[in-house]
Structure 1
Amino acid sequence: PAAINSYINYTRAYTYFAVKVFCDPFSPQNAGAMRPIRLVAREGSFFNPKFPAPSGGRAALQVRIFDTINGAMAQAMPERAMGAFSHWSNPNIGGIDDRTGKPYVFYDLILAGYGGRADSDGPEGLSPVMNCSNIPVEVHETNLPVLIHRVELLDGTGGAGRHKGGSGLRKDIELLAGEGVLTLLGDRHESRPYGVFGGEPGAVGETVLNPDGNGERLGSKEIRTLKRGDVLSIRTSGAGGYGTPGE
């Protein structure tokens, strides 16, 4: 029923990426590097949908594609595996700023932790499978009708392990315009990012509207209308750990 369908070209891209990370991470990415990889996805599934299946939310699957392959490849190449990623959140708010009469679009990517690895804890505040970065607070506040109340790592959300998973990230955003339409695209509000080789899973994420009052929990994928003064609190999941804690 939702637009979370990954057309085969999108599935293919993140499959190639995941396999290359394990098998040949430093050589050029070209047709020769991809030729040995065979992709099989049942037609009509959300990894290979048929027109007119909607796909506007397909980005939510990019991390899941990698995590699925990572979990399988870990059994053969444990030295290159890691716990599952923290999943990112992609909130967008659009409308007319009633103070200026001009339209605006607030677009954000909230990127958190990597899973624990064979030789180190998972790093934090990084893009998982695409070349993006956290957007500076100053850029948003200078150009858009928003006030960022906080950006902080969520201690204790990364899965425990010999090497712990990276922490989730919290970002609280207040709308200063009169009204705006919010769209949310995220994941891992219900299922925890897995750990590997005895590592524990990361904590689930959550999204809360007006957390300082009678906060309302929102879904990871939702459309809502916000009013001036509403505060959106995004809290991503933590990443999975690697190895048994205390080893």
Structure 2
Amino acid sequence: MDDGSVLHLKLTLDANKGEAIFDFKGTSPEVYGNWNAPEAVTTAAVIYCLRCLVDVDIPLNQGCLAPVKILIPKGSFLSPSDTAAVVGGNVLTSQRVTDVVLMAFQACACSQGCMNNLTFGDDTFGYYETIGGGCGAGPTWDGTCGIQCHMTNTRMTDPEIFEQRYPVHLHKFSIRENSGGSGLHRGGDGLVREIEFRRPIVVSILSERRVHAPRGLKEGGNGGSWCKLSY
């Protein structure tokens, strides 16, 4: 993670029994920040990855994990205490767990690694959106540009509705060219989103990948990290 915390996974597969162990021992302790993740978040990310990897339409239920054991150390940022802040666990850490699992399987390179949560408002209204990025490339395909992938399920507000309902001008919403990792198959490019506020507004962003860029796979280049937030 950007603060130096480590998400560690040892993956053990038993092909004969059709079983797997996901051991997160070695993951760093819970943090003072808000991206600690309850155990259910890691479990959901593992289920998602397995359903992507298995070439069968597996029903989305607890039975998916019958042959799977997930070991999460107590007190880590994947199993924090009751008093830890966890608001960012679902939108940041779930994406990083997904990246780690898919990299462990050598399935695809890292994605943008978070959901890029933007909020703004004042005493009269509040607005919240998630900004997409690039998907990692795989053995036989390029990554997809400018999309919410993996653990996300959100859509962006249409520009016309956005400007009609809120005191903003949307000057640019475009692909961030050449920000995907290089290689035989290129990673997906990220996004540029420029918003002008027409009156004083409080703005916050919850994101990752400002320090550590999304990693490439099998000698593929890393993707671009966040440039900067300006307003």
> Fold-level match, TM-score > 0.5?
yes
Determine the C-alpha separation between the residues in 1 that align with 2:42 and 2:63: 19
Q: Distance in 2 between matches of 1:24 and 1:31?
A: 18
Q: 1:9 aligns with which of 40, 43, 49?
A: 40
Q: How many residues align?
A: 197
1:135 deviates by 2.8
SS in 1 for 2:103: helix
Shift, 1:106, TM fit? 1.9
- How much has 1:134 moved relative to structure 2? 2.9
State the Cα distance separating 1:23 from its structure 2 match.
Answer: 2.5
User: Is the 8 Å Cα contact of residues 16 and 37 (structure 1) preserved in structure 2?
Assistant: no
Structure 1's unaligned 5+ residue stretches are 75-80, 97-102, 210-230, 232-247
SS of the aligned residue for 2:122 comes to strand
Given the alignment, which residue of 93, 114, 117 partners 2:120? Answer: 93
User: What are structure 2's unaligned runs of at least 5 residues?
Assistant: 1-31
CA distance in 2, matches of 1:47, 1:180: 34
Range with bigger deviation, 134-143 or 58-67: 134-143
Paired residues of 1:112 and 1:125 also in contact (CA < 8 A): yes
User: TM-score, normalization: structure 1?
Assistant: 0.75
- The superposition leaves residues 80-119 of structure 1 with CA deviations (integer Å, 9 ceiling, x where unpaired) of x1110024311100204xxxxxx11121111021111222
Quick one: which of 66, 83, 86 aligns to 2:98? 66
SS in 1 for 2:70: coil
Q: 2:174 aligns with which of 152, 160, 170?
A: 152
Q: What's the CA shift for 1:156?
A: 1.1
What amino acid does structure 1 have at the position aligned with 2:181? Answer: G
Matched, 1:83 2:109: yes
Secondary structure of the 1:91 match is strand
* Structure 1 residue 51, shift from structure 2 partner: 0.5
Q: 1:113-158 deviations in whole A, cap 9, x for unaligned?
A: 1111222211122211222223322221111111111011111111
Instruction: Give the equivalent residue in structure 1 for 2:204.
Output: 183
Identity of aligned residues (%): 25
Matching of residues 32-47 of structure 1 within 5 Å: 32-47=63-78
CA distance in 2 between partners of 1:25 and 1:183 (Å) = 41
Displacement over 3 Å in runs of 4+: none
Other-structure match for 2:60 = 29
1:118 equivalent in alignment to 2:173: no
**Separation in 2, partners of 1:184, 1:69:** 26
CA RMSD of superposed structures (Å): 1.5
Which structure has more relative contact order (CA 8 Å, sep 6+)? It is 1
Letter of the aligned partner of 2:116 in structure 1?
S
